[in-house]
Amino acid sequence: MGLCNGVWNRRAPELRPLPKTVMPIQDELLSGWLTRLAIANYCDVVDLLAHVGVDYRYAVSLDFGLEAGAAEKIAMAARVTPELIQSLTFPTLNDTEAALTARFPFQACPNCTPRSFTLKHWRRAWVFDCQICGAMLTSTLPKLGKGVLPQKLLQHARTGSVLLEQAVIQNSIRQIRRAMRGASFAMALKNVSGDPASALQSFNPDIRLFCLAAIAVVQKRPLLKAALFATGIDDFARVALLRTYQNEDRLLVTINRIGRQIENRRHASRSNTIERT
């Protein structure tokens, strides 16, 4: 507040640039860059945001939408352009991309995270490895990430992640739908409720990788896979199967028919075995 021509002027103090700035790396996320910027200036993110006049409670949500005024303040403090700041946020996503992009970090790179890097692609449900160092991403909840995972599961999961990425990039409704069916089957086998997109972003790597692996497995003869899955399942799993095909009665009827054929063959095989004995 200052006195000008005998009148008190409530003008906000001029924003001072930070002593040090850092340049973002390719695909870096705004929240991660702000963390590195704060470290470089010997403060934490809360203090940094307070300095530029941005409420720290919205720090995570800034990755998905930043007002022009806030971008200008951060840019002025960091001595970069507002356009550069906006480029660190997620662009407008279609419905599928939005559903498969985590609002909060569920996986991170064991090599790059200690260096305070946070990348956009780590938030994607289909991403498996770090694009900087190539290491497999791990859960951000270490307790859930413990244990040795079977190599066959990892191999199928990596294949499933590639298939899911291709489906999303090509915006192929048919391939996306098939991928979500595979994830639904995996959820039923694991007795996990909820949305397949959420399961693919699970903090529990056993659930997430199992869902990605299922996407790879169901690519060949998916109706037969579903029929094999449908035989001998409990009520919870059957509800998941019905929900998966709730808008496609024809496919569900086909699956049930194949399932009955499988059951009849099994019954006939058991009968023949008993007669021979």
Q: Is residue 75 located within the same domain as residue 148?
A: no
Say if strands 107-108 and 138-139 run parallel, antiparallel, or are unpaired: antiparallel
Please tell me the distance from the alpha carbon of residue 164 to that of residue 228, in angstroms, as a whole number: 23
pLDDT of 192 reads: 83
Please count the other Cβ atoms lying within 10 Å of the Cβ belonging to residue 270. 10
| Within-domain flag for 271 | no
Can you tell me the distance from the alpha carbon of 85 to that of 99, in angstroms, rounded to the nearest whole number? 24
- Which of 88, 91, 128, 86 is CA-nearest to residue 107? 128
Report residue 160 as tokens: 């499933």
CB atoms within 10 A of CB 120: 20
Asked whether residue 98 is assigned to any structural domain, the reply reads no
Q: Are 124 and 56 found together in one domain?
A: no
pLDDT of residue 276: 59
pLDDT recorded at residue 243: 58
Q: Is residue 151 situated within a structural domain?
A: yes
Q: Which of 141, 106, 105 is nearest to 32 (CA)?
A: 105
Give the three-state DSSP class for 3: strand
Number of domains in the chain: 2
Q: Which amino acid is at 249?
A: D
Residues 237 and 145 in one domain: yes
Q: What is the structure's pLDDT at 185? A: 76
How high is the pLDDT of residue 244? 55
Q: How much is the pLDDT for 181?
A: 81
Of residues 158, 165, 205, 208, the one with CA closest to residue 183: 208
The stretches of the chain forming alpha helices (DSSP H) are 30-40, 45-52, 68-78, 82-87, 95-99, 151-169, 173-189, 196-199, 205-217, 222-230, 235-244, 249-276
Residue type at position 218: V
pLDDT at 222: 55
pLDDT in tens, the chain (277 residues): 444 444 434 444 577 899 999 999 999 999 999 999 999 999 999 999 999 988 877 777 789 988 899 999 999 999 999 999 999 999 999 999 999 999 999 999 999 999 999 999 999 999 999 999 999 999 998 777 667 788 888 998 999 999 999 999 999 998 998 898 888 878 877 778 889 999 999 999 989 998 998 888 777 655 545 554 555 545 555 555 555 555 556 555 655 665 666 566 666 666 665 555 5
Q: Copy the structure tokens of residue 152.
A: 């066959």
Q: Does some domain include residue 25?
A: no
In a domain, 100, yes or no: no
User: Do 152 and 75 have their domain in common?
Assistant: no
SS (H, E, C) 52-65: HCCCHHHCCHHHHC
- Residue keyed to tokens 């399961």: 199
Q: Domain range spanning residue 140?
A: 107-265
In a domain, 87, yes or no: yes
pLDDT at site 7: 41
Residues 74 and 196 both lie in one domain:
no
Q: Is residue 275 part of a domain?
A: no
